[in-house]
Structure 1
Amino acid sequence: MSSQRHLTLYRNGSVYSTADPLATAMLVEGSTVAWVGTEQAAASIADSTMRVVDLDGAVVTPGFVDSHVHLSDTGLSLRSLDLASVRSAAELLDAVARAAQGTDGTVYGHGWDDSTWSNPVLPTREELERASGGRHAILTRVDVHSALVSPALAAAAGLGSTAVPGWDGGPVASREALGAVRVTARPSDPKEIALLHEAALHHAAARGYVAVVEQAAPQIAGVEDLRILLGEPSAERGRPEVFAYWGELVESVDEARSVLESLGVLVSGLAGDLSIDGSIGSRTALLSADYDDAPGHRGAAYLSAEQVGRHLAACSELGIQGGFHVIGDAALGIALEGLREAVERVGISAVRAAGHRLEHVELASPEDIAALAAHSVTVSAQPLFDAAWGGEGGLYARRLGLRWEGMNPFASFASAGVPVCFGSDSPVCDLDPWASVAACLGHSTPSQRISARAAFIGHTRAGWRALRHRDPLMGQLVPGAPASFAVWRVDELMVQVADERVQAWSTDPRARTPLLPALDTENSPSCLATVHLGNELFRSAEFGD
């Protein structure tokens, strides 16, 4: 499926297109969709000048956009010790000991979640020291907002010699302490960093992603990592397109310009994981009332409303996107107060025109949601958070009590007119777009469920719009649109909605509703090929030419 052949006709399948919801074929000319239509019409236009690809019943959809990823951490997690299945400190220590025997370098581990353990008691520093054999070891919690750190690595990172927020001398590092540990443990060789990016991007392409949005920040991977990432070849060389935000706080337009110039690469804005608070799992998300399982503790505020306001005002005045990582309801209160302060400084029109965005926004009242809509703020959310931690007896319920009900309010965002795009926060959650769509359909709070079509748009067209991409046809398969798509082997195609009362009419062919893969069948959709701007990013061995 290389664009070296000028015309390529895909036929004998199904094409998800609003131009023709019953389309079974698509003609691609170079990097552009030239035509979509029926099999009968495809037979009439096929000739020897074009390459013909038999879809053999497969479905073609617009390619996915992941609006929130961390590529170096994703690449690192792919080669790290997988701790998602451990259910006790003893199991974790055994896994670390086995891994340490096989390496002379740093032991990397990811994915442990003490909320799933029958006895959620973490290992001690001494136990980590013995298990790691005195080596450097960093074992990130599933939310990546805290980590178990071996004494050797803690000492190398300078913890213990001075007071560092997020470190009490025990086995866990968070906040600034975690940042120091990550910097110390992270590979520094540019070639090795590039290999981490390559592994993550190949992983994404094999799952139907044509673009990903890196949420970079000084405390996460650093500016050199960002420069390496954005300096690497893009779609024409066989990788998903990479966009990036840089999460560095500024107080003025001049400072914003200085930061942008100092990066040496083009970013989409000063936004992303510029954190107002932390995570619920690590109890660092900022709440307005105590954690149910930690009385007297409400998390941490990393920024003030005044700082948020100055940052957003500077970005608004410069005409670029600003934004923050926001989890808890009190953190959202800080963000909204900052928005109001920005309006006082530069006016509501400038704030709205900048297209600011907030990452996560898991706890939001109706009044908060109305305020987000009034300021034209986009929410970049992660449906798989609810699938992993929502529901009765889940992590959110244990941490927050009844406050978990209505978290991640996707339907409320939509009804209030708040633009929403979706991502995985990989490596926190898997790069699995159809599982994310399914999570929207099966939201743990029924009133916050949205249809598969709405969720699919949130993972495709909405991702491009949140980036303020210049081409309004990105994320669609219609004549004139960029040829950016994925091919899927599926069990069944259907319309899936949150309210079953809608199902009867929407599946009627006369409704002309495009069909998507059924997500409740035995087999999940399997990616056969991924193409971006006419260039092949991925091809499964089972997908013939």
Structure 2
Amino acid sequence: MGSIALVNGTIYTSFSPFRKSGGVLIYNGLYKIIGNNDKIINFAKKEKIEIVDLKNKFVIPGFIDAHMHLDELGEFIKGINLKEINSINQLCNYISREKDKFKTWIFGHGWDQEKFIEKRWPNHHDIDNCSSDKPLFFSRIDLHSALINQNAINILKNINQKLYGIEKFPDGSPTGIIKEEAFEELRKVLRESRNIDEQKEILELAQNELFANGVTSIGFMSVDEKTLTSLMELMSENKLKIRISAYLKPEIMKKSREIKNNDILAIKGIKLFADGSFGSRTALLSYPYDDDPTNHGYEAMSKEDLLENCMRAKELNLKTAIHAIGDKGIDNVIWVYERCGKRNRIEHASLIRDDQFPKIAKIEPFVVVQPHFIISDYWIINRVGKERSTWVYPFKTLINYGINVAFSTDSPVEPINPFFTIDSAVNRGKNQNIELFKYTQHETFSILEAYNAYTNNSSLAIDRNDIGKIEIGKKGDLIILDKDPMEDYFYNKVLITIINGDIVYKSPDQDLIH
């Protein structure tokens, strides 16, 4: 727990209500003095605490990403970045360039068939010749589908050929596209090939990326046993600095009894799935997809199974977070929480009918949304049609019903940079000419609403009421920025990140602390 004094700056201490000051002092990890520079300087000199002249720079509470995947972000950093690919032909170029750095599996993330000039999904024939003798796993941007090569198809055949989500050619042979159940099973095999030290390396890579982007706390979703062990080892080695609220995979929820929560790592709940994603056409809808009229999506778990897991978690004093993107998936979640209890979480809630808002309000959930989906899902009107497009990503309507809306990136699905998320919430793709803006501009957030959702509201969603604002007695988590976040946010830069009064990141070109 560190101590530091910051003076001569603009410090946004809270976004709801809106408050700011000129200085702040963190003492033994907690906010001790706010506002009076002379009082701060006198106390700091007496206690021999470092005094930082902010030189008119700007400070806000650390960003809290309420739903992301620390392990998958690390895999994305270590793997092959496919987010900029716009052609199937480019896949082999990327594989050939980087395949030798992989020991066992070749893996990468981020492709989106909607961007491909070929206007089709890739298949294993597109990559078999360039992926040599190693199995390959390329996750789609939504983390609900993957492209695999023939070697990986052979591995999957040995697991279970009847899993949901193994796409087939007309002759019945696998195409190399896997979704949902098949995706999860093969990804599990990939991860089991990795030892604990490799897993710890991946987690540290992700942690460092979060610090560089001003993220000080996270809701870490779908934590498996190997990752939980890795986090505990990093904690014992004093290498885990990011504040984590962990949501376990349901099969290991009883592990929560064996682990004592602390200031940095706390098990807060479990993560379940009601459906899939729009990108893979597996989000569960009441009416079929406009661009796939025979398809209503995928029910990942029945509402009875969701309820059973929710009740088991409740007995362990854990909250439940349920992924639900389509409106039918949300119907199932409402049914579950009407029986399991209030103050649980709904993840994504991407398409909500008008009749569902009052029902959601009654169960008082935390709804954790990803505003940057608006940018990535630029094709969404093709999926759901113009009439239903007014139901998509209804952030403002949710808060108008008194529902706590928290922000996140679902990283590595979306960029971890919080300012991209802020822009998406405030402008809803207007600057990127996203067609959805025409139908949903009434759902835009004000700048204060956006920052509040990313700080205080997210702190409540991850069950941490000791962070999210710069207030006396709360944890000393903040970031120093080079520009005013109220005016110039899209290209803002994080200069310094502080957690518990300790500096965990300094930009190489900052001139405040040496």
How does the TM-score come out when normalised to structure 2?
Answer: 0.88
**Equivalent of residue 417 in structure 1, options 394, 402, 408:** 402
Question: Is the contact between residue 13 and residue 58 of structure 1 (CA under 8 Å) also seen in structure 2?
Answer: yes
Give the aligned partner of residue 219 of structure 2.
213
Give the aligned partner of residue 439 of structure 1.
424
Question: Is the contact between residue 271 and residue 357 of structure 1 (CA under 8 Å) also seen in structure 2?
Answer: no
Give the aligned partner of residue 511 of structure 1.
none
Question: Is the contact between residue 358 and residue 401 of structure 2 (CA under 8 Å) also seen in structure 1?
Answer: yes
Cα deviation 1:347-387 (Å, max 9, x = unaligned): xxxx12xx211111101123212112111111111111112
- 1:122-521 to structure 2, matched below 5 A, reads 122-158=121-157, 162-167=161-166, 168=168, 169-186=174-191, 187-216=193-222, 222-233=224-235, 237=239, 239-248=241-250, 258=254, 260-261=256-257, 268-272=267-271, 274-316=272-314, 318-342=316-340, 351-352=341-342, 355-389=343-377, 394-402=378-386, 403-443=388-428, 444=437, 445-469=440-464, 472-490=465-483, 492=484, 516-519=486-489
Question: Is the contact between residue 5 and residue 41 of structure 2 (CA under 8 Å) also seen in structure 1?
Answer: no
Question: Is the contact between residue 517 and residue 525 of structure 1 (CA under 8 Å) also seen in structure 2?
Answer: no
Cα deviation 1:471-497 (Å, max 9, x = unaligned): x4421112332211111111x45xxxx
Structure-2 separation of matches of 1:101 and 1:228: 26
* Aligned positions, number: 488
1:525 aligns with 2:503: no
Cα distance, 1:12–1:248 mapped onto 2, change above 3 Å: same
Letter in 2 for 1:173: I
TM-superposed deviation, 1:130: 0.8
Structure-2 separation of matches of 1:484 and 1:236: 18
Cα distance, 1:10–1:101 mapped onto 2, change above 3 Å: closer
DSSP-derived class of the 1:454 partner: helix
Structure-2 separation of matches of 1:310 and 1:116: 40
Question: Is the contact between residue 270 and residue 313 of structure 2 (CA under 8 Å) also seen in structure 1?
Answer: no
Cα distance, 1:41–1:518 mapped onto 2, change above 3 Å: farther
Structure-1 separation of matches of 2:313 and 2:53: 49
For structure 1, the 5+ residue unaligned runs are 251-255, 343-350, 494-515
Cα distance, 1:307–1:259 mapped onto 2, change above 3 Å: farther
Cα distance, 1:22–1:423 mapped onto 2, change above 3 Å: closer
- 1:72-91 to structure 2, matched below 5 A, reads 72-91=71-90
Question: Is the contact between residue 234 and residue 241 of structure 1 (CA under 8 Å) also seen in structure 2?
Answer: no
Cα distance, 1:174–1:10 mapped onto 2, change above 3 Å: same
Letter in 1 for 2:187: R
TM-superposed deviation, 1:133: 2.0
Taking every aligned residue pair, what percent have the same amino acid on both sides? 22
Structure-1 separation of matches of 2:135 and 2:509: 42
DSSP-derived class of the 2:97 partner: helix
Structure-1 separation of matches of 2:211 and 2:492: 14
How does the TM-score come out when normalised to structure 1?
Answer: 0.83
Cα distance, 1:104–1:467 mapped onto 2, change above 3 Å: closer
TM-superposed deviation, 1:304: 1.5
Structure-2 separation of matches of 1:207 and 1:307: 38
Letter in 1 for 2:13: S
Structure-2 separation of matches of 1:20 and 1:41: 23
Structure-2 separation of matches of 1:329 and 1:154: 33
Letter in 2 for 1:183: K
For structure 2, the 5+ residue unaligned runs are 169-173, 429-436
Cα distance, 1:235–1:325 mapped onto 2, change above 3 Å: farther
